[in-house]
């Protein structure tokens, strides 16, 4: 049965990225009634930032040719000074590896992802982390407009960064849905773009509904 891991990274409880995520989950559960679901709010339940011991975990894993959690356990057993760092990392990796679909709701902060999401990425990523065969869905909210042909298109470091990250981990199936101009309803200097924002929001919600019904492409049988 399919397993959905859902991460929220917005600092706002009523953010547009959270709205998209909630809509996706609703439609996904309807399309996958036997599926399982795991949720983590990276703001309410933040991940510990990496420290020297966490960096050494990555180094030791490379030096010892680690390829899975069990082998990492053996490395840490021989290096007890890394036990605390591994204890903070292991459950997050287990959670990630159990997922068939990784759903991330994230705003754009300062042209990229918020620190809450980046910290999670830094914590879970080890050289041997295998994500091939999984699907990732990124649902983002942006205060301005960063789509093709817009003046701020060159400032979009959010989508290219996340594409590069998942690609390096072997995950080729990554879908993006963006709600843009989310500042238009509240920022007077963007008031002229309120209709454009609503159009973007409606299109994003429609895209989310369609996407939720087709990922994963094939429900695992084991």
In the chain, % of residues over pLDDT 90:
96
Mean pLDDT of 132-155: 96
Contacts of 106 (CB under 8 A, 6+ apart): 8, 9, 10, 17, 113, 114, 117, 138, 139, 140, 141, 158
Could you give the count of Cα atoms lying within 13 Å of 91 in the half-sphere of its Cβ? Answer: 8
Under the banding of pLDDT at 50, 70 and 90, the label for residue 220 is very low
Q: Does residue 6 surpass a pLDDT of 60?
A: yes
Per the CB < 8 A criterion, the answer to whether 92 and 71 are in contact is no
Q: What is the tens place of the pLDDT at every residue in 54-63?
A: 999 999 999 9
Q: What is the tens place of the pLDDT at every residue in 41-88?
A: 999 999 999 999 999 999 999 999 999 999 999 999 999 999 999 999
Count of Cβ atoms closer than 10 Å to residue 203 Cβ = 14
Q: Does residue 222 surpass a pLDDT of 60?
A: no
Q: What is the tens place of the pLDDT at every residue in 105-121?
A: 999 999 999 999 999 99
Q: Does residue 33 surpass a pLDDT of 50?
A: yes
Q: Does residue 217 surpass a pLDDT of 90?
A: no
In order of their start, the domains of the chain are 3-46+98-212 (3.40.50.360)
């Amino acid at each position: 049965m399919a397993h959905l891991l859902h991460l929220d990274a917005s600092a706002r409880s009523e953010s547009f990225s959270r709205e998209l995520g909630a809509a996706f989950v609703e439609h996904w559960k309807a399309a996958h009634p036997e599926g399982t679901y795991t949720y983590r709010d990276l703001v309410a339940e933040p991940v510990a930032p990496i420290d020297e011991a966490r960096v050494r975990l990555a180094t030791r894993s490379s030096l010892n040719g680690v390829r899975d959690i069990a082998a990492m356990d053996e490395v840490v057993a021989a290096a007890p000074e890394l036990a605390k760092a591994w204890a903070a990392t292991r459950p997050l990796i287990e959670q990630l590896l159990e997922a068939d679909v990784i759903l991330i709701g994230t705003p754009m902060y300062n042209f990229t992802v918020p620190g809450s999401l980046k910290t999670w990425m830094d914590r879970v990523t080890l050289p041997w982390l295998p994500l091939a065969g999984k699907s990732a869905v990124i649902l983002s909210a942006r205060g301005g407009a960063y789509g093709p042909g817009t003046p701020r298109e060159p400032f979009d470091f959010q989508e290219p960064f996340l594409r590069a990250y998942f690609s390096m981990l072997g995950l080729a199936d990554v879908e993006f849905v963006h709600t843009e101009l989310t500042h238009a309803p509240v920022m007077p200097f963007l008031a002229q773009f309120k209709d454009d924002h609503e159009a973007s929001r409606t299109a994003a919600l429609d895209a989310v509904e369609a996407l939720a019904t087709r990922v994963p492409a094939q429900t695992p049988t084991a």
